[in-house]
Amino acid sequence: MAPTEALDVQPIDAALSEAVWPLSVEAGWNQNLADWRFMLGAGRGFGCVGPDGRWQASSLVLPLGQKLAWISMVLVTRDRRRGGVGTGLLKRCIDEVRSAGAVAGLDATEQGRPIYLPLGFHDLYPIARWHFDAASDVVQPPAGATLRALGPADLPRLALYDRPLTGMERPSILAHLALRQPGRAWIAEDTAGKTVGYVLGREGRVATSLGPVVADNEAIALALISKAAAAAPGPFIIDVPVVHRAVRGWLERQGAVTPRGYMRMTLGDAKGLDDATHVFALAGPELG
Ligand SMILES: CC(C)(COP(=O)(O)OP(=O)(O)OC[C@H]1O[C@@H](n2cnc3c(N)ncnc32)[C@H](O)[C@@H]1OP(=O)(O)O)[C@@H](O)C(=O)NCCC(=O)NCCS
């Protein structure tokens, strides 16, 4: 196997979405073509092609404002693993993030974490991936909060609400998710009409993905999650920081199972990224 230094790293643009999609399918991941097109259009992809012209590996850097960038879609085909390709692509992504003067963040799978630790990434908090078929138990919002469908006119205030609570600046991601599947986007407001939470969702290759869910408190988050799950076709996946026990309890009552988890990690310090208090579900490990 060629050493890392000799890796022929090539850019992946959105026009190549169909050619790289089999990488995430082989790994059993939920991304569909629309996800790849969006991510490669909004970020920068890097990968490696085999002698037969097929993509053997991918990686992606997605800016989340000027100070933070998300590294994701680090995938190497089974027969090319353990040869330094994953590490080589990671290094390429880190160079890209550093040259933009930003800090790198990511959500590591169990397989990815061993390559991120030696590169200097440190753990922030664990996240559980949950699968469930349907929501039988609808949770009413707490007194003083109401839910309604989220529309295009809500997007500016959604981004303003999201940023201080997540440490991420991601108006284009929120807009993409809210407009791609409008029936799955809900906003919570208090009696004065102030935003107190939201949930977005999107269709995926094998399941409807619920998230992000950001809210003032866990009671509002639960009402939003149960509303989104009642309004969209299952099965569902949702990625919940382990610290949120009431969400976990509700998911277990719906018969949800958690086959795997992630570790949120960062290389350097990103303000607010270590605080899961208001982050009840990720946009997804690939989007932050
Ligand atoms: C994670 C992944 C990208 C690693 O790609 P790779 O090309 O095999 O990684 P590398 O060869 O650079 O591995 C570097 C080192 O990490 C460690 N490592 C890699 N995979 C490991 C594993 N499954 N278990 C333990 N250590 C592992 C080893 O120390 C390895 O060095 P070595 O092979 O000399 O022992 C690949 O396994 C993959 O695509 N997995 C499925 C998708 C996934 O989980 N991606 C990560 C998303 S966060």
Distance 112 CA to ligand 1 centre (A): 6
Tell how far the Cα of 76 is from the centroid of ligand 1, in angstroms: 8
pLDDT at 181 (0 to 100): 79
Name the least confident of 1-5, 46-50, 83-87. 1-5
Residue 88 pLDDT class (50, 70, 90 cuts): very high
Gap from CA of 69 to ligand 1 centroid (Å): 21
- Which atom of ligand 1 is the closest one to the Cα of 83? 11
Query: Which sequence spans correspond to the domains of the chain?
Result: 4-125, 129-281
Provide CATH code, domain 129-281.
3.40.630.30
For 55-74, the pLDDT digits (tens) are 999 999 999 999 999 999 99
Query: Which CATH superfamily does the domain covering 4-125 fall into?
Result: Gcn5-related N-acetyltransferase (GNAT) (3.40.630.30)
Which tens digits make up the pLDDT trace of 210-252?
999 999 999 999 999 999 999 888 999 999 999 999 999 999 9
Distance 124 CA to ligand 1 centre (A): 20
pTM: 0.94
Ligand 1 atom 5: the closest Cα is on which residue?
Answer: 86
Which segments of the chain are extended strands (E)? 10-12, 44-49, 55-63, 68-76, 103-108, 122-132, 146-149, 186-189, 195-202, 208-215, 236-241, 257-267, 279-281
Mean pLDDT of 110-132: 96
What type of residue sits at position 171?
A: P
Q: Is pLDDT above 90 for 120?
A: yes
Cβ of 158 closer than 6 Å to ligand 1, yes or no, is: no
Residue 1 has pLDDT above 50, yes or no: no
- What whole-number distance in Å separates Cα of residue 253 and Cα of residue 52? 48
- Ligand 1 mean position to 116 CA, how many Å? 9
Is 84's C-beta closer than 6 angstroms to any atom of ligand 1?
A: yes
Using a 6 Å cutoff on CB, does residue 155 contact ligand 1? no
Q: How far is CA 224 from CA 17, 57, 83, 131, 215, in A?
A: 32, 37, 44, 17, 9
